[in-house]
Amino acid sequence: MFIGHFAVGFAAKKFAPRASLLPLLAAPLFCDILWPIFLILGWEHVRIVPGFTRFNSYDLYDFPWSHSLLMCVVWATVFSAIYYASARYRPGAIAIWIGVLSHWVLDWITHVPDMPLYPGGGPRLGLSLWNHVAATMAVEILMLLAGVYLYASATRSRDRIGKYAFYAYVLVLLVLFISDRFSGQPAPASASVAAHDIFLPSVIAEVVLLVWPWWFDRHRIERAT
Ligand SMILES: [Zn+2]
């Protein structure tokens, strides 16, 4: 899943309006933030198999440290505890815990059966939504729009940045998601090449896609109810 994870972060603002959008978005993205780092460290592995699913050509045969259910619970608890220690804001800490864990649930719905329960073997689960292109598009886009709606109903802009940088961000997410679908499949590559090909673009994308919402969120305030 891609923009569906952002939807969870946006929606969390409704539940924890005093938390910055940055940790609220970083939480549901957390497993995918760890993934390229663990790939480049050689702790996890991926193969590029063109047409592996109808939506995505990654064969995610080994990623238990970033994406097993057990490790998601661990990451959720660590992230949430660090947040609570620094911000002392209970709704934010709860939203972050649920947010990190939501990543596993949403990936489980979209992935082919490759989602581990714990590192070191065991069953691997997945409902394979990625094999249904139209359904994947519909689910993710509807989720994002719902999340953005909740965010917009919990906050209002203080100035033009709070308004237009927010709109532009949502538009860019949609364009990235849709254009990704129509871009050519990457050429077959070995696992080690795949790690290097994935690392830098992923890190750059993550930094941009987290700093940008941090910026416009500072130009929006909680809507009085
Ligand atoms: Zn993921």
| Rounded average pLDDT per 10-residue block, the chain, 225 residues | 95 97 98 93 85 77 92 97 97 98 95 90 87 90 97 96 97 92 60 76 93 97 84
CA distance 27 to 33: 9
State the pLDDT at residue 184.
56
Range list of β-strands (E), the chain: 45-48, 58-62, 115-116, 124-125, 155-157, 220-222
Whole-model pTM: value is 0.91
State the pLDDT at residue 175.
95
Ligand 1 centroid to Cα of residue 198, in Å, is: 14
Ligand 1 centroid to Cα of residue 149, in Å, is: 23
State the pLDDT at residue 225.
66
137-140 contacts at long range (C-beta below 8 A, 24 or more positions apart): 137/177, 137/178, 137/181, 139/4, 140/1, 140/2, 140/3, 140/4, 140/7, 140/177
Tokens standing for 214?
């941090």
Ligand 1 centroid to Cα of residue 126, in Å, is: 12
Alpha helices in 45-124 (DSSP H): 64-67, 69-87, 90-110
State the pLDDT at residue 192.
60
Q: Are 216 and 165 in contact (CB under 8 A)?
A: yes
For residue 139, give the 3-state DSSP assignment. Answer: helix
Ligand 1 centroid to Cα of residue 203, in Å, is: 14
Q: Are 103 and 72 in contact (CB under 8 A)?
A: yes
Considering only CA atoms, which of 9, 27, 118 is closest in space to residue 76? 27
Ligand 1 centroid to Cα of residue 145, in Å, is: 20
Tell me whether residue 41 is exposed, middle or buried, using C-beta atoms within 10 angstroms of its C-beta: 0 to 12, 13 to 18, 19 or more: exposed
Ligand 1 centroid to Cα of residue 78, in Å, is: 18
State the pLDDT at residue 193.
66
Helix (H) or strand (E) holding 9: helix 3-15
Ligand 1 centroid to Cα of residue 103, in Å, is: 6
State the pLDDT at residue 71.
95
Ligand 1 centroid to Cα of residue 218, in Å, is: 27
Residue type, 18: R
Ligand 1 centroid to Cα of residue 70, in Å, is: 14
State the pLDDT at residue 133.
86
